[in-house]
């Protein structure tokens, strides 16, 4: 391609400092180096993680930075040693990766690659630690190895999933983070059986995806737990059959659920990051066979406390990272679920804005007014 091997000038939404609106800047994007791919981003979306690191509350501030990690695009060029991708491929960049060589990648049970596991503090590329973005000769930090709030980005090839070229990028772009995190937590880790009951703690995008997984699994009862009653009506679209607002009860919510279900739910999935909700999700599953899955990320100083008898009574507690999906191996299959009409992505997408209005997407997410807002990079 004519741009291969050359710097590309394009627009990017740059976060210059914490909490300040992103600024549209002309940036230079360097050619991909060893094991790297340069991607033309067609559609991206804002995840709650983008907002958290933009606000830099509780995270290590790293500015200027190009955020963004849910996206769909087309490979523009590839660097040395890339053999499984080529220009023109339709791809999803992923915030975590699959090197294919480490023990985790060789394991059928793990997706936590030693080389490419999520690293929120890294501002450069793994190959040389340098940034591929600059403006006026000054480098701009990467984010999660993806930085999709740019018309072009450079990503390690191990963090790029090649997908069906017929899949609409404005829909399947959401598969690259929150959707798969929740969906896989249910389908791959909780594994409810047809006819069983599932409780979902937190009805944001990840929780709704977990509920979608329970619906696909054939769960008979899907109980949504959230402090915001405005979320309950929308959650019905994702298969949620009953709702519990902990604020409306004078007893612990786990006790409420145990009484609702004659001893507890068969499975629960926690998607809030609240350690209190994690304990509730574990203690509300049925003794003997109940399984609770933790998805939300707690604060650094949080501690999980429960009585050991809850384990001895044969309740199981598990954790889930990115839905236990291997990015390159498994994510193309999630896209195929959508193409085969087994998975409905449209109901997750509540807003669409042009790239020039990306700050509106941040506003929608910050105020909890959207599930997912798609940003059209070409509009």
pLDDT tens, position by position, 58-95: 677 899 999 999 999 999 999 999 999 999 999 999 99
pLDDT at 294 over 70: yes
Q: Among the options 28, 102, 130, 316, which is catalytic?
A: 102
Q: Residue 117: its pLDDT value, please? A: 95
Q: How far is CA 95 from CA 53, 61, 69, 78, 177, in A?
A: 14, 18, 6, 19, 7
The residues, ordered by sequence, that sit 6+ positions from 115 with a Cβ below 8 Å of its Cβ are 97, 99, 101, 102, 126, 158
Please name which of 177, 209, 163 lies closest in space to residue 348, comparing C-alpha atoms. Answer: 209
**What distance in Å separates the CA atoms of residue 292 and residue 189, rounded to the nearest whole number?**
9
Active site residue 372: yes
Q: Among the options 36, 38, 98, 113, which is catalytic?
A: 113
Q: Among the options 48, 127, 221, 351, which is catalytic?
A: 48
pLDDT digits 0-9 by tens, 201-241: 999 999 999 999 999 999 999 999 999 999 999 999 999 99
Q: Residue 299: its pLDDT value, please? A: 85
pLDDT at 255 over 90: yes
Q: Among the options 25, 36, 49, 284, which is catalytic?
A: 49
**What distance in Å separates the CA atoms of residue 266 and residue 287, rounded to the nearest whole number?**
9
Q: Among the options 38, 69, 132, 156, which is catalytic?
A: 69
**Is the alpha carbon torsion for 288, 256, 296, 214 positive or negative?**
positive
Q: Residue 159: its pLDDT value, please? A: 98
Active site residue 52: no
pTM summary value: 0.95
Q: C-alpha dihedral over 180, 186, 189, 195, to 10 degrees?
A: -150
* Domain segments of the chain as ranges: 1-34+88-162, 180-323
pLDDT at 312 over 80: yes
Q: Among the options 25, 70, 151, 270, which is catalytic?
A: 70
Residue identified by tokens 């329970």 is 214
Active site residue 284: no
Q: Residue 2: its pLDDT value, please? A: 80
Active site residue 151: no
User: Which percentage of the chain shows pLDDT scores above 90?
Assistant: 94
SS3 165: coil
Active site residue 181: no
pLDDT at 50 over 60: yes
Output Rg (C-alpha) for the chain, integer angstroms: 21
**What distance in Å separates the CA atoms of residue 262 and residue 304, rounded to the nearest whole number?**
25
Q: Residue 339: its pLDDT value, please? A: 98
Domain 1-34+88-162 falls in which CATH fold? Quinone Oxidoreductase; Chain A, domain 1 (3.90.180)
Q: Residue 123: its pLDDT value, please? A: 95
Please determine whether the domains at 1-34+88-162 and 180-323 fall in the same fold group of CATH: no
How many Å from the N-terminal Cα to the C-terminal Cα in the chain? 23
- State the chain's mean pLDDT as an integer: 96
Q: Among the options 99, 271, 284, 373, which is catalytic?
A: 99
pLDDT at 103 over 90: yes
pLDDT digits 0-9 by tens, 137-155: 999 999 999 999 999 999 9
Active site residue 47: yes
CATH code of 180-323, in short, is: 3.40.50.720
Active site residue 113: yes
Q: C-alpha dihedral over 201, 219, 244, 369, to 10 degrees?
A: 60
Q: Residue 170: its pLDDT value, please? A: 98
Active site residue 271: no
Q: Among the options 117, 127, 221, 351, which is catalytic?
A: 117
Q: Among the options 38, 148, 372, 373, which is catalytic?
A: 372
Q: Residue 1: its pLDDT value, please? A: 53
């Amino acid at each position: 391609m004519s741009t291969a091997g050359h710097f590309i000038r394009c627009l990017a939404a740059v976060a210059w400092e914490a909490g300040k609106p992103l600024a549209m800047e002309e940036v230079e994007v360097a050619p991909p180096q060893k094991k790297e791919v340069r991607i033309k981003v067609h559609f991206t979306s804002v995840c709650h993680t983008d907002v958290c690191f933009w606000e830099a509350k509780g995270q290590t501030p790293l500015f200027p930075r190009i955020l963004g990690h849910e996206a769909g695009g087309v490979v523009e060029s590839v660097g040395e040693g890339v053999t499984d991708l080529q220009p023109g491929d339709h791809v999803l960049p992923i915030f975590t990766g699959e090197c294919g060589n480490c023990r985790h990648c060789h394991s059928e049970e793990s997706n936590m690659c030693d080389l490419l596991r999520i690293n929120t503090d890294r501002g450069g590329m793994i190959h040389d630690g340098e940034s591929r973005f600059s403006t006026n000769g000054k480098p701009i930090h990467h984010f999660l190895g993806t930085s999709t709030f740019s018309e072009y980005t450079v990503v390690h090839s191990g963090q790029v999933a090649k997908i069906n070229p017929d899949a609409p990028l404005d829909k399947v772009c959401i598969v690259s983070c929150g959707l798969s995190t929740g969906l896989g937590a249910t389908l791959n880790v909780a594994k409810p059986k047809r006819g069983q009951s599932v409780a979902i703690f937190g009805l944001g995008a990840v929780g709704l995806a977990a509920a979608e997984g329970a619906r696909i699994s054939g769960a008979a009862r899907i109980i949504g737990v959230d402090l915001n009653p405005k979320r309950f009506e929308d959650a019905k679209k994702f298969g949620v059959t009953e709702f519990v607002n902990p604020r409306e009860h004078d007893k612990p919510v786990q006790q409420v659920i145990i009484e609702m279900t004659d001893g507890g739910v068969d499975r629960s999935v926690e998607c809030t990051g609240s350690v209190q909700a994690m304990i509730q999700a574990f203690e509300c599953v049925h003794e003997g066979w109940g399984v609770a899955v933790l998805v939300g990320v707690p604060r650094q100083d949080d501690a999980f406390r429960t009585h050991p008898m809850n384990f001895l009574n044969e309740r199981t507690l598990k954790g889930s990272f990115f839905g236990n999906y291997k990015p390159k191996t498994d994510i193309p299959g999630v896209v195929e679920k959508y193409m085969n009409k087994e998975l409905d992505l449209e109901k997750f997408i509540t807003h669409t804005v042009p790239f020039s209005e990306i700050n509106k997407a941040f506003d929608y997410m910050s105020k909890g007014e959207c599930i997912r807002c798609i940003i059209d990079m070409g509009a």
